[in-house]
Amino acid sequence: MNPAQTAAKVIIAGAGPGDPDLVTVKTVKALRWAEVILVDRLVSEEILESYASPNAEIVYVGKQCRKEGTTPQATINELLLEYALLGKKVLRLKGGDVSIFSNVLDELQTLVKHEIAYEIIPGITAALGAAAYAGIPLTARQHSTAVRFLTFYTYSKLTEEYWQELAQTEDTLVFYMSSERLGEVVEKLTRHGISEEKQLAVVEQATTPLQHVQTSSLYDYQKNLGDKTFVSPSLVIIGKVVHLHQQYKWFTNNPTREHYFKPISEQVGLVLQ
């Protein structure tokens, strides 16, 4: 192992779901420590402005479905390695939590392969932020005693047998990265006989000033929300607990269609040659 490898360290940290006040104290310390910060698109600019060292190099490595400028995961892995081997203090800052739909395994494998020391700092994941700011407990007596985190980003991961199980379970279902295909999610669940007692909520830009929550029964989805396009990021909650939103909502619903997080096209990316 060369001296640079011995000195190298990477911190992988979650920045929370949007509201900059939800970032953890430990991640704030990491922001002040870091010389290089590789940052996702879904991280509040206010977090970087408030806590990053003024001398830190900010490298935008965001991803946005089907958008030009998205940074491939392989490039992110290469950047982590390149800066670490220069002996830099590297912070990989991810939106939400690092272990929920974040590709953290690819980055860990790269660091372990090259014997780079690392630390993982958890963050508040989008599901917990969205549920809290929408007044929807993900588990509640007489409503649900468990919750499942899922995605319908690709067809291959969920079999018809599993869709049938999802339709019949009493667990709360939380779908990440699935709003563009929500009509398909609803069709599969209703086709498999999901209870009419269950509702869905779409939480757009959760915990930010632009948060917007829309609810519907699954069987009236096409009439109520079928023609809607949801602002990214959007998170979907399905279950009996969604009924609690009307009674316990506390955060102002913002109907504007502006984007809280800058699109990829407005961020400055760095790509290895």
Which residues are catalytic, by number?
40, 63
Q: Residue 190: CB partners within 8 Å, gap ≥ 6?
A: 167, 218, 219
d(CA 243, CA 135) in angstroms, rounded, equals: 10
The one-letter amino acid code at 257 reads R
d(CA 133, CA 248) in angstroms, rounded, equals: 10
253 and 207 in contact (C-beta within 8 Å)?
Answer: no
d(CA 26, CA 185) in angstroms, rounded, equals: 37
Going 165 to 201 to 63 to 124, the CA torsion angle's sign is negative
3-state class of 48 per DSSP?
Answer: helix
